[in-house]
A and B are shown apart, each in its own frame.
Chain A
Amino acid sequence: MNKSNYFKLDARQTRRNAMIDALRAPCYALCITMAGFSAIARESGFDFIMALTTSLGVWGMPGQVAFASLYSAGASLLIIFVAVSLANMRMLLMVISAADMMHLKSHDLPVWKRIFWMQFLAITAWAHLGFAQQKYPSHLLLHYYQGFSLTIFTFGILGTVMGFFLTDLLPPELLRVVIFVTPIYILLLIMNARQKANRLAVIFGGALSPIFFPFVGEWAILLAGLIGGTLASLYGRFIAKWHLETAA
């Protein structure tokens, strides 16, 4: 299907296409990943409803894992709040970026509805949105996002339920291969971002975080994101002048 055919789709067809994209691979990997969280949560002393509420309400894997490990250590409520906020701070940037990609303003939704839909945003859906941006016209991207994010959310919650009750869902030899799917999938998506500056940011951010890690630990993520993103942005604007290219 070439790009002009995507313009002819309506909202329902776009949602269905997005659902199919989700069902092709990412939803199963995410299901297993969330089952992994659930297993960690149970070992940390969560009961089932708590694990489920955490997945439903937080919906951001790094923050959830941070929460479970702090909970098992008996950390104070303030520490939990601060650590989860730091681990999920990228949500702020991802939400702004997603709203920009989907031209959310043009859909004229009330604030509560915008927040409601952003509740389903996590790394996979955001990265997929950037990838879909190359095929779909921007007025359909909100519908694409709805179909995609709800599908993987459903599978993620299913994974949380299964992981809590089925201790050995998969043998460890197979499990580690399945766990590898989500990170590599997301990396493949983001290295194909439409704008060159964003692709450059992937390279800078990815290269810097393992370099910083031995010195600053988990702070490496935020530091690499800030420095890598800023460098890519400056390079794109002042050295390569890519913005002129996109304007042409």
Chain B
Amino acid sequence: MEHYSFFQSWLAVLCAILGTLIWRVAGVMLASRIPADGPMMGWVNTMAYALVAAVLLLIFVHPIGVLATTNLDQRVVGLAAGLVMMFFTKRLILSLFCGVGAFALAIEFI
């Protein structure tokens, strides 16, 4: 499965790096031009939060790799346990362990 020559494979790495770097550079450039407390900055922030939540929920619902060997019920149990704990205690690490612990138990018993 040699698809690329040595030179091409490094060009591929460069493409991947540039594909990410352009956003970081553009972000730095735009950040100094958008007024801090304006509606535009608010919109950028809500979109960033919505995007990250969208990435995460897709990992929970349609995972790839080793997480795909668990089923949806097990992942939902873990997620719910963590979120409920966070909602009531507001303690990050405690909630994290609670969620991950519930997930581990769910894999064992569901």
Contacts and interface: CB of A to CB of B under 8 A. Distances in A.
B13 A40 contact: no
Chain B interface mostly helix, strand, loop or mixed?
A: helix
Contacts of A204: 50, 53
Interface centre among B22, B57, B59, B75 (most CB of A within 10 A): B57
A115 B67 CA distance: 34
Give the size range of B's interface with the partner: 35 or more
A177 B16 contact: no
B100 A179 contact: no
Contact of A63 (B3, B19, B25, B92): B19
Contacts, number: 300
Nearest to A105: B32
Interface residues of A, number: 104
What secondary structure prevails in chain A residues at the interface with B? Answer: helix
A104 B83 CA distance: 32
Contacts of B66: 36, 172, 175-176, 179
Interface string A188-226: 111111010111111111111110010000001110111
Interface string B29-45: 11110101001011111
Interface string B51-92: 111111111111011110110000100110011001000101
A159 interface: no
A85 interface: yes
Contacts of A213: 58, 61-62
B110 interface: no
